[in-house]
Amino acid sequence: MTSTGQEPSIFSRIAAREIPATIVAETDRIIAFEDIAPQAPVHVVITTRTQQYRNVVELAAGDPGLLAELVSVAAGIAAERSNGQFRLVFNTGEASGQTVFHVHAHLLAQPGPGSPAGDDSLGEGSLAFR
């Protein structure tokens, strides 16, 4: 249980190293890791260490600075892996496809030349994630 009385989310458990994941960036308040079921050649989940906010609307209202930090981490990953070009998707609500109710963004991109995400097994062209 967390201090708010909630069970830890799957993302909190990844941040606590209870569940393995390929972590690609971390700050004091943000953690980013490879999505387990990638929908694009570069597909990184970027989330807050706190699970206090269920979605981006709550985060924007409750801690806009933390949302800005999340976007900054996304931009940094994209600068390294996809020439700074990317999509950032926040599924918000079950009907939109949200399955984990701990705010997170999907960073979706094509790998840039020479980037470490050279696996293009998901193909060239437009991103698959919808």
Interface with ligand 5GP (CB under 6 A): 10, 19, 21, 33-37, 45, 91, 97-100
DSSP code at position 108: E
Q: Coil, strand or helix: which one is 106?
A: strand
Mark residue 88 as left, alpha or beta (left: phi above 0; alpha: psi -120 to 50; beta: remaining): beta
Residue 108 CA, chain-centre distance (Å), reads 9
* Distance of closest approach, residue 36 Cβ to ligand 5GP, in angstroms: 3
Extract the tokens encoding 12.
């909190």
104 carries an active-site annotation: yes
* Distance of closest approach, residue 90 Cβ to ligand 5GP, in angstroms: 8
What is the spatial distance between Cα 114 and Cα 91, in angstroms, rounded to a whole number?
A: 30
Question: In terms of CB distance, is 16 or 36 closer to ligand 5GP?
Answer: 36
* Distance of closest approach, residue 70 Cβ to ligand 5GP, in angstroms: 14
Question: In terms of CB distance, is 36 or 61 closer to ligand 5GP?
Answer: 36
Catalytic residues, which ones? Answer: 104
